[in-house]
Structure 1
Amino acid sequence: MNFEYLRALSAVVETGSFEAAARLVGVTASAVSQRIKALESSVGQVVVRRGPPATATAAGRVLLKMARQVQELEADTLEGLGQGPQRRAAASIAVDSYSLATWFSPVLADMADWADIELDLRITEQNSDRAGLLGKGDVLGAVSTHPNPIGGCRVERLGIMRYIPVAAPALIRRFSNGQGPDWQKMPMIRCTDDDLHDRVLGMRAVSDPPPTHTIPTPDSVLEAARAGLGWGLIPELQFYSTGKATGLARLEPPLYIDVELFWHCWSISSSRLERVSRAIRRASQQLHQS
Structure 2
Amino acid sequence: MNSLDPAALDCLAALADELSFERAAQRLSITQSAVSQRLRSLEAQVGQLLVVRSRPLRLSEAGQVLLRYARQMQALRADAARELGLRAAPQERLAIAVNADSLATWVLTALDPLVQQGLNLELVVDDQNFTHDVLRQGEVLGCVSTVRQALQGCWVTPLGKMVYVAAASPDFVRQRLPQGLTPANFAQTPFLVFNRKDDTQAHWVQEVFGLPSAPRLVQRLVPSSEAYVQAIRRGWGVGVAPRLQLEPLLARGELVALHPEVTVEVHLYWHQWKLSREGLDGPVALLDQIGRALVAGAAQALEPVAAQ
TM-score bracket relative to the smaller structure: 0.7 to 0.9
The residue that corresponds to 1:68 in the other structure is 71
Residue 153 of structure 1: CA displacement? 1.2
Q: Mean Cα displacement is larger for which, 74-83 or 152-161?
A: 74-83
Is the 8 Å Cα contact of residues 6 and 64 (structure 1) preserved in structure 2? yes
Is the 8 Å Cα contact of residues 27 and 91 (structure 2) preserved in structure 1? no
Counterparts of 1:52 and 1:171 in 2: how far apart (Å)? Answer: 44
Is the 8 Å Cα contact of residues 158 and 284 (structure 1) preserved in structure 2? yes
Change in Cα spacing, 1:18 to 1:221, as seen in structure 2 (3 Å) is: closer
1:150 aligns with 2:143: no
The residue that corresponds to 1:278 in the other structure is 292
Structure 1 unaligned regions, length at least 5: none
Change in Cα spacing, 1:34 to 1:289, as seen in structure 2 (3 Å) is: same
Equivalent residue for 2:270, pick from 241, 252, 263: 263
Is the 8 Å Cα contact of residues 208 and 259 (structure 2) preserved in structure 1? no
> What root-mean-square deviation, in Å, do the aligned CA atoms of Structure 1 and Structure 2 show?
2.9
Change in Cα spacing, 1:73 to 1:254, as seen in structure 2 (3 Å) is: same
The residue that corresponds to 1:57 in the other structure is 60
Counterparts of 2:245 and 2:41 in 1: how far apart (Å)? Answer: 52
Residue 219 of structure 1: CA displacement? 3.0
Structure 2 unaligned regions, length at least 5: 277-283
Residue 160 of structure 1: CA displacement? 0.7
Counterparts of 2:161 and 2:45 in 1: how far apart (Å)? Answer: 47
Residue 154 of structure 1: CA displacement? 1.2
Counterparts of 1:195 and 1:202 in 2: how far apart (Å)? Answer: 11
Counterparts of 1:219 and 1:196 in 2: how far apart (Å)? Answer: 17
Change in Cα spacing, 1:153 to 1:176, as seen in structure 2 (3 Å) is: same
The residue that corresponds to 2:246 in the other structure is 239
Q: Secondary structure at the match of 2:38?
A: helix
Counterparts of 1:149 and 1:249 in 2: how far apart (Å)? Answer: 39
Is the 8 Å Cα contact of residues 88 and 115 (structure 1) preserved in structure 2? no
The amino acid of 1:184's aligned partner reads A
Matches within 5 A, 1:93-108: 93-108=96-111
The residue that corresponds to 1:85 in the other structure is 88
Q: Secondary structure at the match of 1:104?
A: helix
Change in Cα spacing, 1:32 to 1:173, as seen in structure 2 (3 Å) is: closer
TM-score by length of 2: 0.80
1:184 aligns with 2:199: no
Residue 59 of structure 1: CA displacement? 1.9
Is the 8 Å Cα contact of residues 183 and 210 (structure 1) preserved in structure 2? no
1:159 aligns with 2:124: no
Residue 13 of structure 1: CA displacement? 3.4
**Cα deviation code 1:114-173 (max 9, x no counterpart):** 324142x2221122251x311221011111111111111111111110111112234434
The residue that corresponds to 1:124 in the other structure is 126
Change in Cα spacing, 1:253 to 1:183, as seen in structure 2 (3 Å) is: farther
Q: Secondary structure at the match of 2:209?
A: coil
**Cα deviation code 1:26-83 (max 9, x no counterpart):** 5555444333222222111222344665543332221111111112112212322333
Change in Cα spacing, 1:14 to 1:232, as seen in structure 2 (3 Å) is: closer
The residue that corresponds to 1:289 in the other structure is 304
Q: Percent identity?
A: 32
